[in-house]
Chains A and B, each alone.
Chain A
């Protein structure tokens, strides 16, 4: 807690500055795409949100495994704190994807492999949060929720790689280290800025929510102690 205290406010300030600069750049400085028109501006929130939707689940899975192996309570609390953040980013990715899909694909939604696996991952986020909330005993809640989280890893994996396994309406990755640069600098640089801004916001939220979870756990322990005394 002492280590994270001085980091929190700078993280919030940095995320506000980066997000503000990114949104202004995208809305006022980025040109329309020759095929997609102004809908290309949706990419700058859809892509970072989708990346974080999947990567937040990976954070939860890693934290759950560490929690299981080391019996480390804070790891479970990090996973718990990350879940609403990941669910929010997944919701943003699904909503912006649908809004982008309507003019470009001619449909809001298709049951293709990537879209469906992201939707199932969203339900795993909701199920994970519901399971934590429905069990009073924290030790039991953390173990059962971690098992559910690890079961859902397959859908996080499919959300990322479904476009490689099956023919989907959703396109493959535009930003790829392996396949080189396929996006013009006019779009790529502001996209990187928005990705960094979303990640800084993610870390600010994760840190804040983890500190809250630790405080709530301490409070519970203190109340139990006082009752027993």
Chain B
């Protein structure tokens, strides 16, 4: 892999594509999971208060 990154003419294009995709999808996944946890906790708190 390191050899590929050093010697291949288009290595920077391939690496940028994969890293960029990982950043965008990683951000989406983390944001979605965090929002899900926040919503679940907020609903649990509200249900407890209502009781």
Contact = CB atoms under 8 A, between A and B. Distances in A.
Contacts of A100: 13, 17
Contacts of B21: 45, 49, 92, 95-96
A205 B29 contact: yes
B35 A219 contact: no
A32 B14 CA distance: 12
A222 B47 contact: yes
How many chain A residues sit at the interface, stated as a range, is 35 or more
B24 A39 contact: no
A42 B14 CA distance: 6
Nearest to A36: B10
B50 to A, nearest CB: 6
A84 B50 CA distance: 32
A223 B16 CA distance: 46
A75 B42 CA distance: 23
B14 A212 contact: no
A46 to B, nearest CB: 7
A84 B39 contact: no
Interface in B30-51: 31-33, 35-36, 39-40, 42-43, 46-47, 49-50
Contact of A88 (B8, B16, B25, B35): B25
A28 B3 CA distance: 12
A92 B16 CA distance: 11
A180 B8 CA distance: 32
Contacts, number: 92
Interface in B10-27: 10-11, 13-14, 16-18, 20-21, 24-25, 27
A39 B13 contact: yes
A103 B10 contact: yes
Contacts of B1: 27-28
A65 interface: no
Contacts of A209: 32, 35-36
Given A84-B31, A209-B36, 15 more contacts: A23-B18, A38-B9, A38-B10, A39-B10, A41-B17, A42-B14, A92-B24, A95-B20, A99-B17, A100-B13, A201-B25, A205-B28, A208-B32, A209-B32, A216-B42
Interface of B: 1, 4, 8-11, 13-14, 16-18, 20-21, 24-25, 27-29, 31-33, 35-36, 39-40, 42-43, 46-47, 49-50
13 contacts: A37-B9, A42-B13, A45-B17, A46-B17, A88-B28, A92-B20, A92-B21, A201-B25, A208-B32, A215-B39, A215-B42, A216-B42, A226-B50
